[in-house]
Each structure stands twice: as C-alpha cells, then as structure tokens.
Amino acid sequence: MKQSIKFGLIGKNISYSFSKKFFEKKFQKLFLPHYSYDIFDLNDIQEVNTLFQNKALRGLNVTIPFKEKVIPYLDILSEEAEKIGAVNTILLKDGIKKGFNTDAIGFEKTLLIHKKEHHQNALILGNGGAAKAVQYVLEKYGIDYKTVSRNGKLNFENLTEELVKESPLIIQCTPVGTYPNTEEFLNFPFSGLTDQHLVIDLIYNPEYTAFLKRSADEGAKTVNGFYMLEQQAEKAWEIWNFQKK
C-alpha cells in the first residue's frame, strides 16, 4: 500500500474554499487514491507549526489572512515570494519549508488575456497579500498603478471619480463581497467607469460580485477571479510534484 500524501489549505473562515474540490478532482483524474486534501481553519498563524510536524504533509496553500504572516515560519522563499512579500503556496520537502507565490502567475495569465493597449494606468483596491502579487505583475509589464486602501493616503473616502476615469484598469483585491456577504461592495465612485475600463475582481465566490455588477452597469468590461484561482492552483500542483529544490 502506498504511503499517504497530504495537502491542505490554511486560512481563516475558509469553509467556502474552492481548493479542496479542485485538488480532490485532480487526485481522482490522476488515479492517486493515497493523496488527500484538507481544510485547516486556523485562529492564529502559530498553529501552522503543529501542521508542519505531520510527516505525510507535502504542501499547503495559504489564503487570507495568512499570506504575509506565514513567512516567518518558513525556511526559504522563492524569488517571486521574496520580492512580493507574500506566500500562497508552501512546499515541504527534505525537512525544508519553502514558500512560493503562485497568485502572481495566476493574475498575470488573467491580465494578458484581457488587457488592451490603453490599459496603462491602474488602481489596485486593497493592500494585502493578493494586492502585492498584483503590484508585482503590473511592475513587470510597466503599468503605472496607485493603491487604494482603508488607511492609506489614497483611501476609499478620498478616491475621486476623476482618478477612476484616468485609470482604465481596476483590480479589486479585498475580500469585500465574498460569500456569504454577497451584497457588500466597496465605497467606490462607479460613475467614473466607462466602456474603456477593465475591472478585475479577484473574488470567485460569488461568480459575479456586487462590485462587478455595479461596474458592468457603467459599461466596463468585467472579469472575476476564477481563472486566476485555477491557474495559481495548477502552478502549486507543479511545485508540489516537480520542484527540484
């Protein structure tokens, strides 16, 4: 009998997560009955140390609110994770805990499918771990951006319609509007949006957030976070199974 190999997701209030179904379907497709995937809903990031003691554990996904907080508990970071300052994938191999950021590649693939030549100025809504991955990708492609956050110099109280008009690329990186709070949306001057805008909301549940609905009402092209989620998960799978070091 093959030795059991375990994977999982760490986060807080994550019963809604896509990852468990995604990876269990993959295990079935690849005939890997000795592989399993669990949800680890942690109250505090310190609890991750107990998980790391499980010898069968090969890899973890990391979601809100631990993408930055988990870093001190790791031995080494990939180049992208170090530059971004956030981790969403962990490989446990040969006693080493290595952090990666696959959000970046997931967002990059989403962006390249949908962006047009005029999408050269962006607003990033939020400043958490996912927003940092978005910043990394925009910098890679030379796209200027401003970050809007609750307590930042530019915030949701002083964000103007004019600045939205000047920023044809909008990326919503906060959890506001995620299931079960599907009617919630950020305080945002939607009237600044036009049919030249591309609005990407990284949320995937619900499929169409209140934020995207309001944006579409103003004529903007809208994209949710499902393709990004799929692509970052595929990259995590590649890291867990084929990473040399």
- Which residue ranges form the domains of the chain, and what is each CATH number? 5-101 (3.40.50.10860), 104-227 (3.40.50.720)
What is the dihedral sign for C-alpha 39, 108, 147, 184?
negative
- The residue from 12, 21, 29, 67 that is catalytic is 67
**pTM score of the predicted model:** 0.92
Q: How confident is the model at residue 17 (pLDDT cuts 50, 70, 90)?
A: confident
Kindly report whether the peptide bond that precedes residue 72 is cis, defined as omega within 30 degrees of 0. no
pLDDT score of 245: 53
Query: What letter does residue 101 receive in the DSSP assignment?
Result: -
Query: What letter does residue 3 receive in the DSSP assignment?
Result: P
Q: How confident is the model at residue 14 (pLDDT cuts 50, 70, 90)?
A: confident
Q: Over the chain, what is the mean pLDDT? A: 95
203 neighbors 177 (Cβ within 8 angstroms): yes
> Which amino acid makes up residue 207?
E
* pLDDT tens-digit map of 198-224: 999 999 999 999 999 999 999 999 999
> Which amino acid makes up residue 158?
N
Q: How confident is the model at residue 3 (pLDDT cuts 50, 70, 90)?
A: confident
Structure tokens that stand for 164 in this block: 């939205």
Span 118-145, average pLDDT = 97
- Residue 191 is inside which H or E element, if any? none
67 is catalytic: yes
Instruction: Name, in order, each residue with C-beta under 8 angstroms of 87's C-beta and a sequence gap of 6 or more.
Output: 62, 67, 68, 70, 71, 74, 77, 81, 99, 100, 101, 129
Kindly report whether the peptide bond that precedes residue 33 is cis, defined as omega within 30 degrees of 0. no
Kindly report whether the peptide bond that precedes residue 180 is cis, defined as omega within 30 degrees of 0. yes
Q: How confident is the model at residue 1 (pLDDT cuts 50, 70, 90)?
A: low
What CA–CA distance (Å, rounded) separates 100 from 88?
6
pLDDT score of 226: 95
* pLDDT tens-digit map of 47-88: 999 999 999 999 999 998 999 999 999 999 999 999 999 999
pLDDT score of 2: 77
Span 211-238, average pLDDT = 97
Bridge pairing between strands 198-201 and 169-172:
parallel
